[in-house]
Structure 1
């Protein structure tokens, strides 16, 4: 995920920032976030991403199914259902995140100067598609991207809900009385869980999407990439770069959940 994950979980801040810069209808950041959430819904914070819309869709479907149970009708989701809702959201998002990240990685890893392979994103898309077709070229690494997104966002939403519910039960308070600091803390920890649960998939995805083309291709498939990484680098090879990733994940994930949770409370 790398920069894509940061863009996704940091998107609410960017939306609020732009609104504050371009209009005078809000008194501040919290007021802006609250009004956007109340008037436009949670997906307004993620106009460049479909996964939050997909998550809420899956959650509503599970809730409706639970209510129709003849033995124990309830709108509450099990933790397994929260995970599956997040996984569904990740899979839906992978259709977009896969090729976007592939192009970004190609541009970031290409030689500089006269040896540059691509003049820009559109040129990169055109050449990748022309080289090996859209599915095998532009969508290279899509299988492992799907696995990563499903696991990452399944764990992300599950971890946050579990921590929030555990806090409410432990302190015998309604969920909306949990302090903003604790909400942010649980959101940050959920971001850590996201990466710890999915990072090896991300490493393999990056290796495949920065691999050579044609005769220079090193990895023939996701399984081949896993095998060669393990043989050449051992288990440590799947965790390179995890430190900076975890440092970045905490604040952006904490802020995302804090903004969304506070906005939901303001609507009540």
Structure 2
């Protein structure tokens, strides 16, 4: 990698990190509700729906409970999103190195590659966050993210930390492919319609709308993988595990609840998708344009 290419990747990395921090701060309360709904028992659910979940968490645990496990994603997801955006932009430059415009499959592939790279970190980060989010009793097993990592790794090694990696990789790969393809399509159409020469000319409010649309498209098509991931990451370890693998988990969900089981907890996610991804892309584009000429 040349010095120029390294510098550009560093700028993409920094801009992605700022977008990731915005994503976590805006989305953490929604994610907490999503995980609680996804991980509860199908036979005797604790929460009737998203509103009931919000009410019970507020009443029984206080508003601070919505930000349980925030330290891990604030550091981890910020880093993950920076890798995702940096990988995506690098792959875009690779595909367009001969000056040819990128095709739809290439935008999807670039996004999928960035998602797969991201999944190596986001998998364990979300696993630790989920373990902390589902703790509702006074006698907590884990006192915090570091304690959670220490206890899981000491008993089950790296395999325990990486629990749920396969569905995470499927969600991130396919979801990011759809995510960035949607964004680039909207950007391209807007620039052509208004005859803009540079994407920096696109108003901030439009970037927010495009980001929201990306979030909708990604979650509608990738959410079933997220359900399987959450089920496995809240499952027991080794002999205490209900599911042996992702496929068995998916079969269990379908046999118990049909296709609707794969969209349990979807309401808080789709509500979350708009503000979270609007903030992510707005911050990313703003910072990216600011550091472009540094």
Tell me which interval the TM-score lies in, with the shorter structure as reference length. Answer: 0.7 to 0.9
What is aligned with 1:152?
Answer: 175
Q: Contact 1:55/1:86 (CA < 8 Å) preserved in 2?
A: yes
The answer to whether residue 192 in structure 2 is matched with residue 222 in structure 1 is: no
CA–CA distance in structure 2, aligned partners of residues 125 and 262 of structure 1:
35
CA contact (8 A) 1:164 1:175 kept: no
Task: Tell whether 2:152 aligns with 1:128.
Answer: yes
Return the alpha-carbon distance in structure 2 between the equivalents of residues 179 and 125 of structure 1: 43
1:167-178 mapped onto 2 (5 Å cutoff): 167-176=190-199, 177-178=201-202
Q: Is the 8 A contact 1:145 1:205 kept in 2?
A: yes
User: TM-score normalised to the size of structure 1?
Assistant: 0.74
2-structure distance, mates of 1:258, 1:85: 20
**Higher relative CO (CA 8 A, sep ≥ 6), structure 1 or 2?**
2
Q: CA deviation at 1:133?
A: 2.6
Computing the radius of gyration over CA atoms, which structure comes out larger, 1 or 2? Answer: 1
Query: CA contact under 8 A between 1:118 and 1:124: conserved in structure 2?
Result: yes
- 1:45 is aligned to 15
Q: Which runs of 5 or more structure 1 residues have no equivalent in the other structure?
A: 1-37, 65-72
Q: 1:121 to 1:169 in 2, by over 3 A?
A: same
Q: Which runs of 4+ in 1 moved over 4 A?
A: 262-267
- Map 1:239-250 onto structure 2 (within 5 A): 239-250=263-274
Alignment of 1:52-63 (within 5 A): 52-63=85-96
Match for residue 219 of structure 2?
195
Matched residue, 1:143:
166
Match of 1:90 in 2: 115
Q: Which moved more, 1:215-224 or 1:255-264?
A: 255-264
CA distance in 1, matches of 2:150, 2:195: 57
In the TM superposition, residue 160 of structure 1 has moved relative to its aligned partner by 0.7
Distance of aligned partners of 1:245 and 1:90 in 2 relative to their CA distance in 1, 3 Å threshold: same
Structural mapping, 1:159-170, within 5 Å: 159-170=182-193
Q: CA deviation at 1:46?
A: 3.2
> Any unmatched runs of 5+ in structure 2?
1-7, 18-80
How has the CA–CA distance of structure 1 residues 184 and 113 changed in structure 2, closer, same or farther, with 3 Å as cutoff?
closer
